[in-house]
Structure 1
Amino acid sequence: MYLEYFKLKELPFRLTPDSEFLYMSGAHSRAKAYMDYSVWNREGFVVITGEIGCGKTTLIQKLLSELDENVLVAKIFQTQLDEVEFLQAVLVEFGLNPFNAKKVELIDMLNTFLIDNYLQLKQLVLIVDDAHNLSLKVLEEIRMLSGLETRKEKVLHVILVGQPALSEMLDTPEMEQLVQRVRLRYHIKSLSETDMRDYIHHRLRIAGAADPEGLFSQDTFPVMYKYTGGLPRLINTLCDTAMTVAFADNVRSISLSVLNSAIEELQWLPYAKRVNKRRAGIGAPGRAEMEALLHENTQALVNLDRQFHRMDSMAPALTSLTSRLSNIESHLKRIADFLDSTQFDAEAVRKKYIKQEK
């Protein structure tokens, strides 16, 4: 919309990941170095985490763009899969057809493929984005795959990338064996305000801006940081909206008033308040569920108490019935004793009766 107006070659703040626009902050450089280390040094397992929109997927694309033909990569971006579906997805990424095989056959197929290509001096890499969505069972499958090794090095190198929830999953007791295989773990922090300014100038420069440092006035950056928290995706959204507002208002630079108009259009709260509100929103259903559970349990206890009261009211009748049964049992015993003592002979009585009739 505003390309010609600002004399740009490309849109500088697209939300889709594009490695050409990647700004390598200190945190991004460290994360990228860990990924490289896993691939080129055959070090097995690396875990990279970061908040939503911090640039994790763009880093993956940057890594993939630098790999040569000697590196075979399985890239998994859809992670809400069960164990069989996950193994099928990995095999498909490696160019195989696994859809008519059972789980045992899938594992054998994958292990055979990995070993055969390793013997051909290929580098084999599994990259899983959004790994925080993986189930514990799928993570266990990944652990088993990562255990395939020679005497000196790993056959398959694994890079797990996800939100902070991934670290929480890995820190559970069930994941102890997998964590022991992880060589490096790193969390990508948000950009600082200085990094944010450089990030914006960098993207404008790549997009072809004649004066990237002059497009946004200096007083906009503290406000921008307040509302984005230094997260690249939010920075992109706010900058793109601000440039659209400037184009609509026919102004050539983004002043503080233009930026405030963009914030109003987005209906954003400051980043810290939005985070707290989101956390409260997440917590609210939990409290509601807990209250519902307590109410349900309380009702169950009330019903149970009623049953006990009913049993208490039935106690006299049960006592009386027990007494009557006891009396009947006594009578039956006396009759049995009488029959035994008189040696009652039914056949003799019958014969006597017949004789009298004659």
Structure 2
Amino acid sequence: MYLDHYHLRLKPFQISTDPQFLWLGEKHEEALAVLKYGVLDNKGFLLLTGDVGTGKTTLLNALIDSLGDDTLVALVTDPGLAKMDFFNFVADSFEMDKSFKTKGEFLIYLRNYLHHIHQQNRRTLLIIDECQHLNQKLLEEVRLLSNIEKSNTKLINIFFVGQSEFNDIILRPRNRAIRQRITVNYNISALTASETAEYIRFRLDVAGGAPALFTSGAIKQVYQFSNGYPRLINIICDQALLTGYVREQKHIDHKIIAECAAELKISGGTTHRKNLATPEGAAHPGPQAAKGDERQLDDRESKGSDPLNRILPIILTIVVILCMGLAAVLALSRLPGDKETLPITVEPKKTIQEKVAKVSDPPNDDVATKQSVNASVKNPVPGDSGPDTDTNTLLEPVSPGNENLPAKITTPGPETIRETPDKIILLSAITERFGAYPEILFDFNSNTLDASDYEKLDIIAQFCSQHPQTRLVLRGYTDKSGVRAYNIKLSEFRATMVKTYLVGRGVKDSAIKTIAVGPDQDGPAGMTVPYDGKRRKVLIEILATTLAE
């Protein structure tokens, strides 16, 4: 779209990984060397963690490309599988050419297969990406796979790649066994200010652009808003190139960067979290490779011998007892007979489903709420066992004039989006509130989003995160006024802006397709988008037909 304008051969800041744009800073080269050593030396369990957008996938692809043909790699990109689905996926990735119906059948075949691979002087590497999504049972199954070994060597290397919260998972007492088996643990941090400048100029050079396309002030602003995260750097820089192209500017300055960051709702100054499960968090800020997390575990457990740690629970217990006694005294002083009575209001905690309902508020909130409540009382949800077991029950405050009346109990009606135990967002809930094709509306010649748009996109992004198979198609539309070429360009810009925001919220770039429809009428599923009504919009098509509601 903007290649000719900036004299570029390629788009320099694509979100998807491209080997041509592989840039490895000092910390990335160190991580690659340590992880490759762990694989070639059959270290068993390896772990690479980092925040969202720090370049884990890029580093992972570089590691796979650096391994020779003597290493057989199985990559699991979606660990949210059932147990047998996971086993069969691993078998297919290892080219076993066999499917399994039971765990025992799989383990017997895998054991013989690994011994056969070892006799050929080859290695096996099982990579589990997004490992923070592993449930507890499947994590234990993965640990048990490492028990297939010979007396003097490991027959399978297992490589966990995930976000920093996976360190919290393996620090749980129940995961002590798997924590002690991790021999290589590396946490990749964000880029520094100087590395950010090198990264931007490197990608511009590969794309055929001038290094001075971004001014030094613009690069400083990029670092301030991205905090050195490569994915955010790409998002901001790509948006800046689009903005500069629309305004016909040949250079990107700090003002454009600040404007793009505001449009994308990106604020700078985020502090990077340290984690005791990583060598980085336990020792010092510089990225370091770990030969195991035994030292971190010993540090944590040794705290139990600190006298202060032994006394602290006793002090807290005494404080709690005193508070309970004080509460009892106050309660006795408020026995019936007091003339002053205060109403009590219990407010429920808002859920993500309530956010969905809030986006498309009805014209009269009070009337709509009462109708929903009345409908739910007349038609209770099947399977409800009463107010004692319904976690979504709301207690209305008792008015001072009706102290003798029991509190009314209201429950959400069947049309209300209910929070499931695992807080999963259903596609039916999204379509019920936003329609089959959610719309992001724009004002005339505008490319800004309002608060309701951001909330709507956040919900869709969370749905995509919970359902990785989901694909999105974003179609940009304009009215028929003005030059057609400009309208096409404007519709593409708006669709790309929505895509950029969704990617920044964790949706995979490869899962989103943008279409610049402009003033035309082409719609999803063969439908026609009429010219009447609001045409300046981005229409979102959610392709999730494989999901079970």
Q: TM-score, normalised by structure 2?
A: 0.49
2 CA distance for matches of 1:136 and 1:19?
35
1:161 aligned counterpart, secondary structure: strand
2 CA distance for matches of 1:249 and 1:93?
48
Deviation at 1:75, TM superposition (A): 0.7
One-letter identity of the residue aligned with 1:101: K
Deviation at 1:256, TM superposition (A): 1.8
Q: Aligned in 2, Cα 1:199/1:249: closer, same or farther, shift over 3 Å?
A: same
**Kept in 2: contact 1:82–1:135 (CA 8 A):** no
**Residue 270, structure 1, aligned to residue 263, structure 2:** no
List alignment gaps of at least 5 residues for structure 2: 274-348, 355-389, 398-405, 407-549
1 CA distance for matches of 2:46 and 2:271?
31
**Kept in 1: contact 2:71–2:123 (CA 8 A):** yes
2:213 aligned counterpart, secondary structure: coil
**Kept in 1: contact 2:84–2:101 (CA 8 A):** no
2 CA distance for matches of 1:59 and 1:191?
14
One-letter identity of the residue aligned with 1:119: Q
Deviation at 1:206, TM superposition (A): 1.7
Identity among equivalent positions (%) equals 28
Tell me which residue corresponds to 2:243.
Answer: 245
1 CA distance for matches of 2:117 and 2:394?
58
Matches within 5 A, 1:33-182: 33-182=33-182
Q: Aligned in 2, Cα 1:296/1:171: closer, same or farther, shift over 3 Å?
A: farther
List alignment gaps of at least 5 residues for structure 1: 277-282, 300-305, 307-358
Greater shift after overlay, 191-200 or 146-155? 146-155
CA displacement 1:15-47 (0-9 Å, x = unmatched):
012233222123322321222012111111110
Deviation at 1:237, TM superposition (A): 0.5
**Kept in 1: contact 2:213–2:250 (CA 8 A):** yes
1:219 aligned counterpart, secondary structure: helix
One-letter identity of the residue aligned with 2:268: Y
**Kept in 1: contact 2:88–2:100 (CA 8 A):** no
**Kept in 2: contact 1:38–1:159 (CA 8 A):** no
**Kept in 2: contact 1:220–1:256 (CA 8 A):** yes
**Residue 16, structure 1, aligned to residue 16, structure 2:** yes
Tell me which residue corresponds to 1:236.
Answer: 234
2 CA distance for matches of 1:181 and 1:275?
27
Q: Aligned in 2, Cα 1:247/1:66: closer, same or farther, shift over 3 Å?
A: same
Deviation at 1:275, TM superposition (A): 9.8
1 CA distance for matches of 2:9 and 2:178?
46
1:185 aligned counterpart, secondary structure: strand
Q: Aligned in 2, Cα 1:219/1:6: closer, same or farther, shift over 3 Å?
A: same
One-letter identity of the residue aligned with 1:250: E
CA displacement 1:158-179 (0-9 Å, x = unmatched):
1100001211111111111111
Deviation at 1:55, TM superposition (A): 0.8
2:7 aligned counterpart, secondary structure: coil
Tell me which of the two structures has the higher relative contact order, counting C-alpha pairs closer than 8 angstroms and 6 or more residues apart.
Answer: 1
1:158 aligned counterpart, secondary structure: strand
Q: Aligned in 2, Cα 1:153/1:284: closer, same or farther, shift over 3 Å?
A: farther
**Residue 5, structure 1, aligned to residue 5, structure 2:** yes
Tell me which residue corresponds to 2:217.
Answer: 219
CA displacement 1:71-109 (0-9 Å, x = unmatched):
111111011012222111110101124434211101112
1 CA distance for matches of 2:184 and 2:7?
44
Q: Aligned in 2, Cα 1:59/1:41: closer, same or farther, shift over 3 Å?
A: same
Alignment: residue pair count: 287
Tell me which residue corresponds to 2:257.
Answer: 259
1 CA distance for matches of 2:30 and 2:201?
21
